[in-house]
A and B are shown apart, each in its own frame.
Chain A
Amino acid sequence: MTRKQRRLTLIGGSLGVLALAIGLVLYALSGSIVFFNSPTDLAEKKIAPGTAIRLGGIVQPGSVQKGQNLAIRFEVTDGNRSVPVAFTGILPDLFREGQGVVTEGKVDANGLFVATSVLAKHDEKYVPKEVADALKKQGHFIENNEKKK
């Protein structure tokens, strides 16, 4: 093999791997990313039922109802609108009324958000960034309520 051929093989191989990586990324991007929405976004964007999304906001105080077999209902609000959420399973330790929450799932035909997972973050002072931004947009977020100094 000549020097030129060797160099070409090397370049060809690199480009091949690069093309593979880019192809995989583009393919994965088209199908596996999830958009974050606040309850207001959900109403305004008219998201089709069955699309996987993330819904974030504050758990509406007084809205949590526990049913049989670990079924739970609560409402997520951004101060402007609120969306009913249904979830079956065990809630995280930091899930509380009046605290920030991010849920992942799909809206059904009746406007009920059926969550497959509920995330509440790991610090009591902490409001998820997405939630804080969504609340700020609605003018309900008090800046610095988590700052110490």
Chain B
Amino acid sequence: MIAEFGHYALVLALGLALIQSIVPVLGARLRDDTLMGVAAPAALAQFAFVAASFAALTACYVGSDFSVVNVYENSHSAMPLIYKFTSVWGNHEGSMLLWVLILALFGALVAAFGRNLPSTLKANVLAVQSWIAAAFYLFILVTSNPFLRLPQAPFEGRDLNPILQDFGLAVHPPFLYLGYVGFSISFSFAVAALIEGRIDAAWARWVRPWTLAAWMFLTIGIAMGSYWAYYELGWGGFWFWDPVENASLMPWLAGTALLHSAVVMEKRNALKVWTILLSILAFSLSLIGTFLVRSGVLTSVHTFASDPTRGVFILAILVLFIGGSLALYAWRAPMLKQGGLFAPISREGALVLNNLLLTAACATVFFGTLYPLALEAFNGEKISVGAPFFNMTFGPIFILLILALPLGPLLPWKRADLLGVAQRLIGAAALAIIAIATTFAVTSGGPVLAPFGIGLAVFAMAGALTDLVERLSLFKSPLAISLARARGLPRSAWGTTLAHFGLGVSLLGIVCASTWGSERIVSLKPGATVSISSYDLSFNGIVQRQGANYRELTANFTVRQGGSVIATMEPAKRSFGTRQMTTTEAALLTRGFDQLYLSLGDVEQNGSIAIRLYHKPLVLLIWLGAVVMFIGGGLSLSDRRLRIGAPKPARRPAEKPAMQPAE
């Protein structure tokens, strides 16, 4: 009964979405408040129905109702409770339901908190949001219904893919989807602006908090996915340039660009048309990501068993929304009032450079991800484009970006003195040079580029702090004055500093872990010892254990440093009976920001084992940097200016005609 209830709720949500797709747009056209007023309650009700549907599926999972195909295929009665919750989205159908749940959530949030939006804009935004929602409800109901029943209920389920039986599944997909789907709001705002044919600085102010929130979640979602892959897959790598990772990186790059161009638009009323385009692109890239992952055209960890009809359906959605919005853009954008031009050396100029570099970086990732597909379609050649390609293309562009990063916040709006700003960065540059020299001195004979990587990271971090130090007049005035200034500083300034600082932190982690990390692959007999970096690990033997729904083979190691025991590590192999699969559970030992990583290979008959052992210096900084960026975004989001929202409509000219062609 519960499954049918969920199914029915989803159908009702589709019905509501269809109403919400049409009525508010008509209302905005006819300037009819009653028709426009349909949008907000419809969006709230839509969310309620999708939430009910999602809750129903969750109830099926938690209650292990194996008469539901989806539950039968992805759950097992012996699974720990937390995985019964998370396996709801550990499969294609359920993850699409999570996708629309978040889509409806964002729609409901706009409906609930968008009180100060002009009524026509709000009606159009919610209608556009509902077009997307309707398309995806239809997709779920037609091709990926999670509520279908089996004629005869089996006694036991086929278990969730063991790789996914991890806490990572509880956090990575929801946060990533909050990011992906969050960009739907910027998209809806952009399309609504194109429909209305009017766009101004206030528009940017309304869009920014949503973009910022989506960006924060995407940042943390990508970072958590990276950490999960790092410890679960047993290769010790944190980024593989896998097509699906790229699919999440592209919206992040476009979203980061959007975040910055929206600032220019809000402050200087420039770059309007470009900002609209970026809003469309950011969400389009999210959709392409969904298509790449869900259609089965690419193969990766994230591919669930695929069905060609789904691919075609998502492709149709893709063509409809990306093609439609770009066509609308081509038609309406020239009618929008152009913003002013500005001097190249200025804050605006720096932000344009940021946008150019970010979109260029995004384009290279896009090319590298899709080129193999295109080539195969043309002449059947199968190629793989891997890390070397991306390091060679994405790498240099990002280096330029990070070099320019500290300059931006120091440049004043309108026009600036580049030399003066460069002088203010002398301190940061000096620190960077010291860092490079020190690294060269300490690590003789290492790769030549790595010390410069360190220098770049230090420059980014010190450069980010420079602005803060100056504004607080730290080290120049008494501490009390600096503290008073710190309190007075807008939170968005702290946010910028932290977000830029976080990027430097991540870079430092990436450079250190990939340059000075050491790796050993050895075969060990019980009682043998292996050394890596300053650690000695002795292998004590193997223990068998029984887990909830798996059997575990655990190797016990004692870790010593300088002769004294500091820890024990227990890497394991788990075999899951139902799916006949084994997973490798790496053991991690954290020392400061460094990690010792131990993963188990084959266990031989004679009791000897193969192990893979890594020492990764400062590896935790990679993800901590993302956390710092997330916090920076949060501070910015909590800034008074964004919380209070746009200036009151009274300050803007009274009622204008909806269409306003450019002069």
Contact = CB atoms under 8 A, between A and B. Distances in A.
B392 A70 contact: no
A125 B382 CA distance: 22
Contacts of A6: 341-344
Given A6-B343, A25-B364, A91-B601, A35 B389 contact: no
A14 to B, nearest CB: 6
Contacts of B18: none
Given A13-B352, A69-B523, A21 B364 contact: yes
B367 A25 contact: yes
B580 A124 contact: yes
Contacts of A147: 305, 307
A13 B392 CA distance: 21
Given A1-B343, A28-B393, A32-B392, A54 B384 contact: yes
A121 B573 CA distance: 17
B384 A13 contact: no
A29 interface: yes
B397 interface: yes
A121 B396 CA distance: 31
Contacts of B361: 21
B360 A90 contact: no
Given A6-B341, A13-B352, A20-B397, A90 B521 contact: yes
Contacts of B299: 121, 126, 128-129
A29 B368 CA distance: 9
Contact of B397 (A21, A32, A66, A126): A21
Contact of A24 (B382, B393, B521, B601): B393
Interface string A100-124: 0000100000000000000001111
User: Taking chain B's interface residues, is the majority helix, strand, or loop, or is none over half, making it mixed?
Assistant: mixed
A10 B352 CA distance: 9
Interface in B34-80: 73
B305 A25 contact: no
A9 interface: yes
A47 interface: no
Interface residues of A, number: 47
B422 interface: no
Contacts of B385: 32-33
B352 to A, nearest CB: 7
A21 B344 contact: no
A10 B344 contact: yes
B163 interface: yes
A123 to B, nearest CB: 6
Interface stretch (B443-451, B581-589, B631-639): B581-589
A134 B583 CA distance: 28
A133 B383 CA distance: 13
Contacts of A10: 341, 344, 352
Nearest to A89: B521
Q: Which 3 A-B pairs have the closest CB atoms?
A: A90-B601, A32-B388, A36-B382
Interface of A: 1, 3, 6-7, 9-10, 13-14, 17-18, 20-21, 24-25, 27-29, 31-36, 54, 66, 69-70, 88-91, 93-94, 104, 121-126, 128-130, 133, 146-148
10 contacts: A13-B352, A21-B397, A25-B364, A29-B371, A32-B388, A35-B382, A36-B382, A54-B382, A54-B384, A129-B296
Interface of B: 73, 161, 163, 234, 296, 299, 301, 303, 305, 307, 341-344, 352-353, 356-357, 360-361, 363-364, 367-368, 371, 381-386, 388-389, 392-393, 396-397, 521-523, 573, 579-584, 599, 601-602, 610-612
Given A13-B352, A25-B367, A90-B599, 20 more contacts: A7-B341, A13-B344, A14-B356, A21-B364, A24-B392, A31-B392, A32-B388, A33-B386, A35-B382, A36-B384, A69-B523, A70-B601, A70-B610, A90-B610, A93-B583, A122-B161, A123-B303, A129-B296, A147-B305, A148-B73
